[in-house]
Chain A
């Protein structure tokens, strides 16, 4: 009787199986939840991620294995790519591509802001990650949550949690990371450039854009099809102005539902044994450098374009070429206002910002076509 009782206590009581690793993960999760609630850093993601980390680090609870509830959601939602793609539909439904259509050259700025990705890929490879992991780490720099998750789930599922957390953390920290890079690469005179008002964009153009982009991008990079289709169908719902119910569901209920499950599942991939390694720190460090590098390439591209243009572009909008919509565009605007309070850069910066969303889909598609 006594031995049965001892056996029960030693095998079934969670407290006896707690490790310092579990407790450390709770501390990390609590920090994320604190940042989400008190500092409002990406609360829609950090809150469910934090909760997911806590529950997966409770001993004797195998929520991610076999028929565990999170395991089922993970296998269908992330293993089969459903959640990031549905979220991308919501992103499309929320995004106004008007500023990009009014100033198409900003497509090139969006492309330039992706150059840091393959550079960091080479650095990660040199540091000992394999090629697929290195690409997934590189993609953190595109600052596009669904793309980061989508690529990591296909290329480096073991690192999904760390890469996802690094990506979303840096997206929340855009207002802290980008301004020093912007100020380092621009002069005060450049920051004061006032851009002229762009042309009117008709509704017909806005409706044609998702159709044309879908065809052109998929013809060139067929592997980007799932991402581009979801992004553009969401945007078509928005611009068509005749399917309000679909538009509202895509940018509202569906997006929120997927965000809940994605957040919890990403958090739940971070058990102590996987997360507490030196490579986690390395991934966070590479992600930070990558983010700064991608922002820098956007700025440098604007400066290059300005060499050939009469109508100068304010280089501050270059850093918005990383996706992080609309945080990166807002940061460009704020830094511009610090230099000249009459300079309104927000709508100009939205051009490269949404171009970054399209460009990150393209580069992710290219990586997947080359490596899968």
Chain B
């Protein structure tokens, strides 16, 4: 029997979960970037 109910649930949770996790990381890293822009240690900075 094809498990469509579970599959649809897995489909949506995997997409939403991935975007939510990566979105949260984006915000945190962005925030860290802003903090380091103010108090950053440019002496150790790497050129990107």
Q: Does the CB pair B48–A98 fall under 8 Å?
A: yes
**Is A24 an interface residue, CB under 8 A from the partner?**
no
Which residues does chain A contribute within 8 Å of B4, judged by CB atoms? 125
User: Closest Cβ of chain B: how far from A357's Cβ, in Å?
Assistant: 12
Which residues does chain B contribute within 8 Å of A209, judged by CB atoms? 29
Nearest residue, chain A, Cβ from B24: A216
Q: Does the CB pair A107–B23 fall under 8 Å?
A: yes
Nearest residue, chain B, Cβ from A215: B28
Q: Is the interface of A mostly helix, strand, loop or mixed?
A: helix
Which residues does chain B contribute within 8 Å of A108, judged by CB atoms? 19, 22-23, 26
Which residues of B1-48 are within 8 A (CB) of A? 2-4, 6-7, 9-11, 13-15, 17-26, 28-30, 32-33, 36-37, 40-42, 44-48
Which listed residue, B2, B14, B41, touches A204 by the CB 8 Å rule?
B41
Which residues does chain B contribute within 8 Å of A204, judged by CB atoms? 36, 40-41, 44
Chain A 191-223 per-residue mask, 1 if CB under 8 angstroms from chain B, else 0: 000000111111111101100110011001100
Q: Does the CB pair B21–A205 fall under 8 Å?
A: no
The answer to whether A199 and B33 touch (CB under 8 A), given A98-B48, A362-B18, A366-B13, is: yes
Which residues does chain A contribute within 8 Å of B29, judged by CB atoms? 100-101, 104, 107, 209, 212
User: Closest Cβ of chain A: how far from B39's Cβ, in Å?
Assistant: 10
Nearest residue, chain A, Cβ from B6: A131
Which residues does chain B contribute within 8 Å of A119, judged by CB atoms? 11
Q: Does the CB pair B40–A366 fall under 8 Å?
A: no
The answer to whether A213 and B25 touch (CB under 8 A), given A108-B19, A121-B7, A205-B33, is: yes
The answer to whether A201 and B46 touch (CB under 8 A), given A108-B23, A217-B25, A359-B18, is: yes
Q: Does the CB pair B48–A102 fall under 8 Å?
A: yes
Q: Does the CB pair A370–B9 fall under 8 Å?
A: yes
How far is A108 from B30 in the complex, measured between Cα atoms in Å?
Answer: 12
Supply 10 A–B pairs (Cβ within 8 Å), ascending by A: A99-B48, A111-B21, A118-B10, A199-B48, A205-B36, A209-B29, A217-B21, A221-B21, A363-B17, A366-B18
- Which 5 pairs of residues, A with B, have the shortest CB-CB distance? A200-B45, A111-B22, A203-B44, A104-B29, A107-B26
Please name 14 further chain A to chain B contacts, defined as beta carbons within 8 Å, in addition to the given A107-B23, A208-B32, sorted by A numbering: A101-B33, A111-B18, A111-B19, A126-B2, A197-B48, A200-B47, A201-B48, A204-B41, A205-B36, A216-B25, A217-B25, A362-B17, A362-B22, A370-B9
